[in-house]
Amino acid sequence: MATLRLGDTAPDFTADSSMGTINLYEYLGDSWGILFSHPADFTPVCTTELGTASNFKGEFDKRNVKMLALSVDGADSHREWIKDINEVQETTVNFPIIADEDKKVSHLYDMIHPRVNSTFTVRSVFIIAPDKTVKLTLTYPASTGRNFYELLRVVDSLQLTANHKVATPANWKNGEDVVVSPAIPTPQAKEIFSKGVNEIKPYLRMTPDPTK
C-alpha cells in the first residue's frame, strides 16, 4: 500500500490482541485514536515506551483518545511481555497491543521499511480523528524513544484547531495564545475572537485560546 498521508482514511482492520479480538473502527467508536507500532516484543526502548504510555492513559482518556499499540509478535508473547513492562516500569498496561504476526496491519499502515529492516515494523505513530481520517503521522528511529508529552500536545492542538479557526505556534502548550487563521480578515477576526486580536504583522495575528 502507498504511504498514508494526512487526511487519508485510516484503514480498518480486525486482529487478535493482548485483550482479545479488536476491530479498529468498533474499538475507536466516536473517539479519537492513537496507534503506535513496535518492531518486536521484549525490546528495551519499547518496554519503556509502553510503560510510559500506560502512565499517560489517564491524560489521553481526558481527551477522548483511545490508545492502541502493535507489534509483529503474537498475543501470547504480548501478554508475557506485559508482565515485564508492568514490573520494570511499575505500571499496568491498560490498552490492547495488536498481534500482527502476518504483518497484515503493518502493510496496511506502511510500517515495514525494507531499508531499515525487511521483517520488523518501524516505530510509527498515527493519530486518528473521530471521522477516521489520519491527522498525524510520525516515524521514529529505533534508537529514539517517543515523547508522550509531545503527543499529548499535538492532540490538544488538533482538537482545538478542529473546532476553531486558529493554528498553534511553535512550542505551543495548552492554554497559550494561538494564531488566527490567515483566511480571516482582521476586522472579522476581532468580531470572532472576543478576547482580542494582537496584530503583530498583517499575516501574523495572535489571540487567547478561545476555549479558556
Number of domains in the chain: 2
Does residue 153 fall inside a structural domain?
no
135 and 187 together in one domain: no
Whether the Cβ atoms of residue 28 and residue 154 lie closer than 8 Å to each other? no
Range of the domain at 183: 164-207
92 and 126 together in one domain: yes
**Sequence-ordered strand ranges (E) for 44-155:** 65-71, 97-99, 123-128, 134-140
CATH number at residue 169: 3.30.1020.10
If you compute the radius of gyration of the chain from its CA atoms, what whole number of angstroms results?
19
135 and 180 together in one domain: no
3-class secondary-structure state, position 121 = strand
- Catalytic positions, written as ranges: 46
pLDDT per residue rounded down to tens, the chain (212 residues): 467 899 999 999 999 999 999 999 999 999 999 999 988 899 999 999 999 999 999 999 999 999 999 998 999 999 999 999 999 999 999 999 999 999 899 889 988 654 555 455 568 999 999 999 999 999 888 788 999 999 999 999 999 999 999 999 999 999 999 999 999 999 999 999 999 999 999 999 999 999 99
78 and 142 together in one domain: yes
| Residue the block writes with cell 494582537 | 198
Closest to 95 (Cα-Cα) out of 58, 129, 142: 58
Does residue 3 fall inside a structural domain?
no
CATH number at residue 55: 3.40.30.10
196 and 117 together in one domain: no
Closest to 48 (Cα-Cα) out of 147, 126, 185, 164: 147
71 and 129 together in one domain: yes
C-alpha span between 25 and 27 (Å, rounded): 5
100 and 65 together in one domain: yes
Question: What cell was used for 169?
Answer: 505556534
